[in-house]
Amino acid sequence: MVPTPERPQEKALGQTAEPPRAEPRVRRLNIIGRRNIFFAISLLIIIPGILSMATKGFLLGIDFAGGTEFTVSFANNPSVAAVESAVAADPLTAGGTVIQTGAGGYIIRSLPLTPQQQALVEDDLTKRVGPMVVQQVIEVGGTIARETIEFALLALVLASAAILFLLAIRFRNVPGGWRAGFQFGGSALAALLHDVFLLTGLFSIMGKVLGLRIGEIDSLFVTAVLTVVGFSVHDTIVVFDRIRENLRHSQRLSFEQVVNLSIMQTAARSIITSFTVVLVLAAILISGGTTLKGFALALLIGIVSGTYSSIFNASPLLVVWRRVQPLR
Amino acid sequence: MLQLVLSWPIRLLIIGVLVFSLFVDGAGYVYRIANHYPLTGNVPGLPPNFGGWQLYIHRGLDLAGGTHIDYQLTNFPPGQSRADVQQRTIQVINKRVNSLGVSEPEIRGAGNNNDRITVDLAGVTAQQAQKTIGAISKLIYTKWVADANVTNGPEPGYKPQFVGLTGDDIQSATATIDQTGTAWDVNISFTSRGAGVFDNLTRDNVAACPGAGVDCPLRHLTIWLDLTQKDIDNWVDPSYVSKIYAPYDTGCLSAQTPNTVCGKFLVDANSLTEIAGGQAVITGNFTQQSATDLATGINSGSLPVDLQVLDVTQVGSTLGAESVKLSLAAGLLGLSIVVLFMIIYYRVPGLLASIALLFYAGAVLAIFKVVPVTLTLAGITGFILSVGMAVDANVLIFERFKEEVRAGRTIAAAVDAAVHRAWPAIRDSNTSTLITCVILGFVGPPAVQGFAITLGIGVVVSLVSAIVVTHNLLAIVMTGSALRRPALMGVDRSARVV
């Protein structure tokens, strides 16, 4: 194997003498050595999530479930029971669901309705419950719902494949060539899928097992998942980039030591970046309106998971992969 | 390559971009405020104005309030290009929507097979919109045939009969002023099939009632909207006929149930001569207004296809305004948290990064205005998120900078080394995000596409901001200034292990 040239960019800087490179002052935690603990923590959350997804599915938002959804706000602040009985009494909405969103605020769902039927329903509700303001009406047919899901899945698959190849290309110049590149890419992909399954699994549990409305899946949730994919890979690449760099000039260290060192060196950055994003999301989650709450929660879970997986899963996985398939 | 970043041409370019961005961001607001126009939306005469092109933030329906409808087109007329039919349908919908007085209606073709149309109407309820657009009216031509049972109605002794000519056979109808220059006419041009049918009809009509300039029922051709066989069967009932014979009412027609009877009458014209060539003129005592109305009626009455509603979203304007407020608050809150944190944690570099962040925000908003990007809730999220990514590039550089200083480099050398060493990570991580954005932009559902566009723009600008702007600011501040003290750099020199 041709030895990699020693830090070519160093010369471009016009430095006269390389300062003595001390061991960077970072606290040493043996993350690689304890990798099984971290894998176990991840599996502990992901497996129940996958079970929940497989057996119970998701609480579907209107854009996936299809049907008509009225978002209304009653001036006289009626009780849930009052609204429910009014909805059940109207033949057009009988069998529909009622969800309270705030004082006087309700979401009412029914089967698909024509505009004329919608107007009838609105009149009826006003008559039976009291004056109200219709804030939003969404009507979704089955075609669009199916297409949204198909598009989202297609996008996820394409994005995953693209990321795998991008990493393989970018990391093929580490010792080991293309095979090493695919090890890096594959580990990043695994961390990415970890985040996707953890997030979707948790939402399945929240929506179906715990029956919380915040666990509802809609197109904003799809946006959140895809954002998390972006962030997760972002974090992972930063760690991997450091591994790539350290592999070049810390040739005395074993692969595991290099990986552990790189994680330690980048941990501050990963945590700081995620921390700022988490602060913003927490603010939205606490003060934001109902439309954005589920979205903010999804992003929050995903970003935390993405940071966790890039530190505790992606790199340890790379080490495991190297052991199984050694590269020389 | 990175050496070039610190050259003066690049610095001037960046300053130029900044000035242009600020100009674009601010453009129009003075005019709007001085003339009491609303702060968003299209307003007449807004400067800078190049052929009606205006600069302002375009808000999506979830922010502005309004109705979004996806239509599936079915029953395409055979033998015509689907793309043409789709375009004609869009024109018809456009004309119908114009009557609602919507500002910037968005009517776009979609679908793999030219079989979808998406309509976005701000400030209109779903009901109004569907009533106006969804009127599945078809233009129907009839002639009159004798029927002794009919004693009343527009032509006593006669009832209408279908002639196999419908709106599908009409290319267009236009209002024009006639040769005398005083009266208004309506010109109808038929498709090639329509021209043939119309030619035969007019020839037969003239033959059925011979003589020059005679006006008899057998010569009349009448245009209706949605006239059915059932209506004709009921022609003996005078009260029924008087309802049908009333001027067409699209509102009633779109809402009709089997028991309602709506006005369906458009025009009743006498054929003076045989008309070959597919160009007919309807004359009468038209004013400009009534001729235009009739032409619009003929055009918009004839949807070439059937429209089937796939989905409808109606957002109340209060909810939209609420969303704008919330996302603005979230954005400002996020930005100030980030700025505060950067300054406390990284001191002078943090302050410089915050300045770079302002450049970033200004440039991205300018791009949104110029392109223009229609901002939706998801789009704003993409923008806020890209702020996070812009900061991340700076954090990467600064963390590296601290390491290099601790490793014993001078501060100036550490800045250079930090940017160089952080670059591969910044490049690769942003490339992966950009690739994701491109994929989402092409295959994602519409709500996700808006997100992908704003995030993508944000990522590109954030790269420039971190690598070019922050680096330059650092380099300028670092050259012989009193700010080069490690404490102000957020670096604890005593922690040096060397």
Q: What is the pLDDT of residue A320?
A: 93
Q: What is the pLDDT of residue A309?
A: 94
- As a whole number, mean pLDDT of residues B76-93 equals 80
Residues β-bridged to residue B162: B142
pLDDT band (50, 70, 90) for residue B302: low
pLDDT(B261) > 90: no
Q: Does this model's pTM top 0.80?
A: no
Q: Chain A contacts of B424, Cβ < 8 Å?
A: 241, 244-245
pLDDT tens-digit map of B64-76: 888 888 888 888 8
Mean pLDDT score of chain B, rounded to an integer?
A: 80
Test B407 with A223 for CB contact under 8 angstroms. no
Test A287 with B436 for CB contact under 8 angstroms. no
Residue B439 is nearest to which of A135, A147, A162, comparing CB atoms?
A: A162
- Amino acid identity of B386? S
Q: Chain A contacts of B436, Cβ < 8 Å?
A: 159, 162-163, 226, 229-230, 233
Minimum CA–CA partner of B401 in chain A: A269
Q: What is the pLDDT of residue A314?
A: 94
- As a whole number, mean pLDDT of residues B235-263 equals 76
Q: Answer for the pair B241, B154: CB distance below 8 angstroms, yes or no.
A: yes
- As a whole number, mean pLDDT of residues B332-353 equals 85
Q: What is the pLDDT of residue A14?
A: 41
* Range from A148-162, B120-134, B464-478 carrying the lowest mean pLDDT: B120-134
CATH 3.30.70.3400 residue window(s) in chain A: 67-140
- As a whole number, mean pLDDT of residues B175-187 equals 80
Q: Chain B contacts of A167, Cβ < 8 Å?
A: 428, 432
User: Residue A59 has what DSSP assignment?
Assistant: E
Q: Which residues of chain A have pLDDT under 70?
A: 1-28, 287-291, 328
pLDDT band (50, 70, 90) for residue B485: low
Q: What is the pLDDT of residue A11?
A: 41
Which CATH architecture fits B2-25+316-495?
Up-down Bundle (1.20)
Q: What is the pLDDT of residue A16?
A: 43
Say which residue, B133 or A56, is predicted with more confidence.
Answer: A56
- Domain extent listing, chain B: 2-25+316-495, 66-315
Which CATH architecture fits A29-61+144-324?
Up-down Bundle (1.20)
Q: What is the pLDDT of residue B483?
A: 61
**CATH classification of B66-315, choosing from 3.20.20.150, 3.40.50.1970, 3.40.50.970, 3.30.1360.200?**
3.30.1360.200
pLDDT tens-digit map of A122-164: 888 888 888 888 888 888 877 777 777 788 788 888 888 988 8
Q: Chain A contacts of B445, Cβ < 8 Å?
A: 147-148, 151-152, 219, 222
pLDDT band (50, 70, 90) for residue B93: confident
B491 CA: distance to closest CA in chain A (Å): 13
B70 Cβ under 8 Å from any chain A Cβ = yes
Test B316 with A141 for CB contact under 8 angstroms. no
Residue B443 is nearest to which of A134, A154, A227, comparing CB atoms?
A: A154
Q: What is the pLDDT of residue A319?
A: 93
Test A233 with B433 for CB contact under 8 angstroms. yes
Q: Cβ neighbours of residue A75 under 8 Å, at least 6 residues apart?
A: A104, A130, A131, A132, A133
Which CATH architecture fits A67-140?
2-Layer Sandwich (3.30)
A33 CA: distance to closest CA in chain B (Å): 25
Q: Answer for the pair B242, B231: CB distance below 8 angstroms, yes or no.
A: no
